[in-house]
Amino acid sequence: MRETDQIQLQQRNAELEVLVAELRSQLQSQSVQELTKTPKAIAPSVSSVEAEFDLDTVRSLRYQITKLEHKIEQLQAEVSRRRREQESLRTSEQRYRSVVEAMHEAVMMLNAEGLIETCNASTEKILECAIDELIDRNILELGWEAIHEDGSAFDLETFPGLITAKTGIPCSEVILGLCKPEKQVTWISINSQPLFQPGQVLPYAVVVSFSDISLRRWIEEERHQLLAREQTARAEAELAREQINRVLQSITDGFVALDRSARFTYVNHAAAQILGKPARDLLGKVLWQEFPDFAETSFGQLYRRAMAEGVPLEIVDYYIPCQGWYSMRAYPAKSGVSLFFRNMTDSVETARERDQAQQALRCALQRLSFHVDNSPFAVIEWDQNLRITRWSREAEALLGWDASEVIGKQFGSWELVVPEDLGTVDRAIAQLLNGQTTRNVCTSRNVSKDGSIVPCEWYNSVLFDSSGELISVLSLILNVRERQQVEDERKAAAAELRESEERFRQLAENIEQIFWMYDVEQRKLIYISPGCQQVLGYDSQSCYEKPLSFWLNRGLPEDIPHLMKVSRQALRGKSAEATFQFQRPDQEKRWLLARAFPVRNQQGKVYRIAGIAEDITEAKHREAERQAQEQRLLLLESVVLNANDAIVITEAEPVEPPGPRIVFVNDAFTRMMGYEKHEVIGKTPRILQGPKTNWTVLKNLRSALKNWQPVITELINYHKDGSEVWIELSIFPVTDQTGHYTYWVGLQREITHRKQAEIEMRKALEKERELSELKSNFVTTVSHEFRTPLSTILSSADMLEFYAGNCSIDKQLEHIQRIQAASLNMKDLLSDILMLERADAKKVKFEPAPLNILSFCENLIDEMRLNDQAQHQIRFEPEADVSEIRGYMDAKLMRQIFTNLLSNALKYSPAESTITFRIRQDQTHVYFEVQDQGIGIPESDQVRLFEAFHRATNVGMISGNGLGLAIVKQSVEIHQGQIQLTSHENQGTMVQVMLPLRPQDTEILD
């Protein structure tokens, strides 16, 4: 209980005792007064006294005495009760203090002003502050630094105890972190409860309790992390299970899993093919029932033995049902047995080939030794113990040791690497030996035999055998001393660049103008100098948060269209300038002169815009005053200043280099050339010239100036940003009143667009001439292609007409067949031409539908073999172990592609040569290859090979119209595919076609 309550209770008890004493004295005085009314006598008795008064008076007096005595007894009882309550409260307070002191939760009591009146030991422990330092202090005076759960600062004005003291509203579970000096954050959970006096609205005290929840928060974070890791592990396990299934389905070995009852629980694709039954027909079936003969074979005996012994077993034997040699490995487990089996029929031939391979390996090792000894790299080979087994001549030259001195030495047995770089080298070696990578690159400083330091770059690779055992490590070493020197120079240049950037930053932050940088891709301001606060009324941070549209709308309504036009011009890569009134947030209007310059990246694309904005309000005011004073002069000058053509006025002399100095330029010149007036006045026009300026024109111009003659010419000048500007320049001299030449006035008009239009017109004329030539060639080619079959038809018709009665039936049939063949050639030619025309006009119908591509190609090969009449050997080589390839193709266009490719291969290949047609697939595409051993295509013709009617120059008398490959390319592109041709003259040609199995954004026909 609070000490103030005890004091109040004691005061109340004292008041009650005083009241009782007063009542007693009143009672005694009243009795005395009543007795004094009687005659003085010698000690009258009570009965005598009663006799002297009337009965009512006595009764009234006795009643009052009884009433007062009763009231005194009540007051004495109340005093006794209050004393007992005070003692009880004192005892309760003792227990309360003991409980509070023993609590792990911190408790402290604040008065209405927020001062700490008392606190327990847990408060001292959690806050790490002595109780004496806390008592009678305000929470705000303790200087705590607190944060919210999200890391933001916690305002102690909103401390729950202070909020409850001010409002009387309790707070619960308020979380904050106390930042203790040089320690981690202590997280506490705070509750506050108000204490009220009867009839009062605000509390006279607040009880604040809080507990340290740092450990609980850490446990919760750990629990969340454990849950996240558990979910990740489950996902990885599911992924691993899926990957294992994919691996088992993709391996070429047969794999089956059987339970303890010999029932099939898993059969991969290869096993189903070897066993001759689909997996769905085997799953759940008993091995002995499906394959009764298996039990009597050595493989069945191995299976039973593995089940009995519980150890993995392997066998290689001849399996009669499959007529071949097979290897089988049995892996028993608690759930059953896993069987791997492989066709080993070719092992004998493989053994013979192994000897040949070993001989080839010895030859390869000899060649390798030759290349190692003659390599520009120093070559070192290490065994599995990192002992040197090979030390090339280049290594001897680089590091100084002979091979005989180092062969057999182990890495680390002598100082090959400077100590400071040993850590890097050890990590590189560990990556190779631990299987983290099969090759890596590291740079180190190496110590040569004479003690000199050689900076080297090591290209390391490791070789493991099939069992994963290390065979050797190969290191290729390159001296990088010169490259390091170049790198040091580059770093020095980078340091200079940083220093330059720092100077630029200091300049930008100290000039009165506003320098800014805008990112085009992110569409936001990325830098603005501090001068923006004074000029624009916004600080830098506020400027970064505002979009481009905000700044445009800060201009006056009449300036906004021009500002939008200028901004678009800058975004398109041209320098721009605008003068406008800007409305500050305080409604003050300021005149600004803003200039924007595009910044391009290495690809020439505008990715940033740099600009300078200058407050020209004072200048505008001075200009207005000057205009008022010199209105007539400004009116005259406006003709020059507002001219669309740029005007440049220079001194009259000297004419010879460096030339006369500029004394005036108008605004059109500034807009045209990008230079401000102060940047060119005092300079010579040579600053506008550049690499493409025609020096012959300048020479003629100088000759005219020497003779004081006006001249008009066209030449290239250069914008301030380095871009080329075509101008039409008119120069004439100006004389004074005495006739002396004082100035040259130059009028220059930008004709860049006109020049570009002229260039475009020349290109268009050239394109039109090419189209005309192409049209003429097309007509000539088509005429020639039609003329030949028409001549054949007419000739045969004339022969039939002339010999109508004297010609034999066989002769007539021969002429009729010629006419039919010629007609078919004309029909095919017309079809090809129409096909090309429809493809160019995007009118070819593309109707992909489900197609067995493998069967389609086999049928097409059969047709080509039939038409070829065994003149060539046509080999069809589909991907191994593939029974079918299905996709969505247009069969008509597919026939045009591969009929043309195979026909060309047959047509341009000698008899009895081989034509190879290959096909393979992956998950998304199918790949075709048509390869011949024909005449090939000259390299000069390969550029125009897919143009209509173009034929190679080496075709000779071989017939053809030059449309086949053009049709092939169009059909491949309609399929959303790609075609590539590789050819060497007199060696043959290979055409590769890649088509998607399912074209995108195309309606598929059922």
Q: Are 422 and 468 in a shared domain?
A: yes
Under the banding of pLDDT at 50, 70 and 90, the label for residue 47 is very low
Under the banding of pLDDT at 50, 70 and 90, the label for residue 4 is low
- Within 13 Å and on the Cβ side, how many CA atoms surround 62? 10
**At which of 695, 725, 757 does a domain end?**
757
Angle, vertex CA 531, rays to CA 528 and CA 533, nearest 5? 95
User: Which whole number is the average pLDDT over 632-649?
Assistant: 70
Beta bridge pairs of residue 734: 743
Which of 45-59, 127-141, 208-222, 382-396 has maximum average pLDDT? 382-396
Beta bridge pairs of residue 888: 850
Cβ-contact 861, 933 below 8 angstroms: no
Which of 79-88, 658-667, 931-940 is the least confident region?
Answer: 79-88
Handedness of CA 162, 163, 166, 168 (dihedral sign): negative
Residue 69's pLDDT is: 73
User: For the segment 836-861, what is each residue's pLDDT rounded down to a tens digit?
Assistant: 555 554 556 777 888 888 888 988 88
The number of distinct structural domains making up the chain is 6
**Rounded to two decimals, what is the model's pTM?**
0.28
> Is the pLDDT assigned to residue 182 strictly greater than 90?
no
The residue type found at 635 is: L
Q: Between 596 and 45, where is the model more confident?
A: 596
Residue 216's pLDDT is: 80
Separation of alpha carbons 299 and 256, rounded Å: 14
User: For the segment 539-566, what is each residue's pLDDT rounded down to a tens digit?
Assistant: 888 888 888 888 888 888 888 888 888 8
User: Which whole number is the average pLDDT over 183-194?
Assistant: 84
> Is the pLDDT assigned to residue 631 strictly greater than 90?
no
> Is the pLDDT assigned to residue 123 strictly greater than 50?
yes
User: Is 19 domain-assigned?
Assistant: no
Neighbours of 837 (CB within 10 A): 12
* 301: region left, alpha or beta (phi > 0 left; psi from -120 to 50 alpha): alpha
Q: Buried b / exposed e across 350-384, counting CB within 10 Å, b at 16+?
A: eeeeeeeeeeeeeeeeeeeeeebeeeebbbbbbee
User: Is 493 domain-assigned?
Assistant: no
Q: Which residues contact 616 (CB under 8 A, 6 or more apart)?
A: 579, 591, 592, 593
User: For the segment 669-678, what is each residue's pLDDT rounded down to a tens digit?
Assistant: 888 888 898 8
Which of 431-445, 518-532, 803-817 is the least confident region?
Answer: 803-817
User: Is 73 domain-assigned?
Assistant: no
> Is the pLDDT assigned to residue 40 strictly greater than 50?
no
- The distance from CA 667 to its chain's CA centroid, rounded to whole angstroms, is 46
Under the banding of pLDDT at 50, 70 and 90, the label for residue 44 is very low
**At which of 757, 778, 796 does a domain end?**
757
User: Which whole number is the average pLDDT over 924-931?
Assistant: 92
* Strand-strand pairing, 724-735 and 606-615: unpaired
Residue 43's pLDDT is: 41
User: Is 214 domain-assigned?
Assistant: yes
Residue 671, domain extent: 643-757
Peptide bond between residue 160 and the one before it cis (omega within 30 degrees of 0):
no
Q: Are 860 and 971 in a shared domain?
A: yes
> Is the pLDDT assigned to residue 38 strictly greater than 50?
no
Query: For residue 840, what are its two tokens?
Result: 């160019």
Which of 426, 406, 407 is CA-nearest to residue 417?
426
Cβ-contact 476, 459 below 8 angstroms: yes
Under the banding of pLDDT at 50, 70 and 90, the label for residue 932 is very high
Residue 18's pLDDT is: 65
Q: Between 42 and 5, where is the model more confident?
A: 5
What is the CATH classification number for the domain harbouring 294?
A: 3.30.450.20
User: Is 890 domain-assigned?
Assistant: yes
> Is the pLDDT assigned to residue 784 strictly greater than 60?
no
What does the DSSP 8-state code read for residue 410? B
Residue 632's pLDDT is: 58
Q: Are 513 and 449 in a shared domain?
A: no
Q: Are 897 and 972 in a shared domain?
A: yes
Cα separations in angstroms, 446 against 261, 314, 481:
66, 51, 11
Q: Are 467 and 574 in a shared domain?
A: no
Cα separations in angstroms, 918 against 943, 966, 971, 983, 992:
25, 22, 19, 17, 9
**At which of 717, 740, 757 does a domain end?**
757
Q: Are 530 and 431 in a shared domain?
A: no
Cα separations in angstroms, 122 against 100, 131, 822, 991:
9, 10, 111, 86
Q: Are 600 and 651 in a shared domain?
A: no
Cβ-contact 523, 545 below 8 angstroms: no
Q: In which order are the strands placed within the sheet that holds 146-147?
A: 116-119, 106-111, 205-212, 185-195, 171-179, 146-147
> Is the pLDDT assigned to residue 124 strictly greater than 90?
no
User: For the segment 333-344, what is each residue's pLDDT rounded down to a tens digit?
Assistant: 888 888 888 887
Residue 927's pLDDT is: 93
Q: Are 848 and 992 in a shared domain?
A: yes
Residue 798's pLDDT is: 66
What is the CATH classification number for the domain harbouring 895?
A: 3.30.565.10
Cβ-contact 268, 280 below 8 angstroms: no
Which of 314-323, 481-490, 599-608, 832-841 is the least confident region?
Answer: 832-841
Which of 891, 781, 786, 778 is CA-nearest to residue 828?
786
> Is the pLDDT assigned to residue 311 strictly greater than 80?
yes
User: Is 189 domain-assigned?
Assistant: yes
Which of 134-143, 164-173, 512-521, 700-709 is the least confident region?
Answer: 134-143
User: For the segment 894-921, what is each residue's pLDDT rounded down to a tens digit?
Assistant: 888 888 888 888 888 988 899 999 999 8
User: Is 653 domain-assigned?
Assistant: yes
Separation of alpha carbons 816 and 813, rounded Å: 5
Cα separations in angstroms, 877 against 554, 916, 948:
73, 7, 31
Q: Are 873 and 934 in a shared domain?
A: yes
Q: What is the helix (H) or strand (E) element at residue 114, kind and residue range?
A: none
User: Is 976 domain-assigned?
Assistant: yes
Under the banding of pLDDT at 50, 70 and 90, the label for residue 530 is confident
Q: Are 155 and 288 in a shared domain?
A: no
User: Which whole number is the average pLDDT over 922-938?
Assistant: 90
As a whole number, the mean pLDDT across the chain is: 79
Q: Buried b / exposed e across 252-272, counting CB within 10 Å, b at 16+?
A: ebbbbbbeeebbbebbbbbbb
Which of 286, 251, 296 is CA-nearest to residue 271?
251
> Is the pLDDT assigned to residue 717 strictly greater than 90?
no
Residue 841's pLDDT is: 46
Q: Are 152 and 123 in a shared domain?
A: yes
User: For the segment 953-1005, what is each residue's pLDDT rounded down to a tens digit?
Assistant: 777 767 666 666 777 888 888 888 999 888 888 889 999 999 998 887 666 55
Q: Are 605 and 649 in a shared domain?
A: no
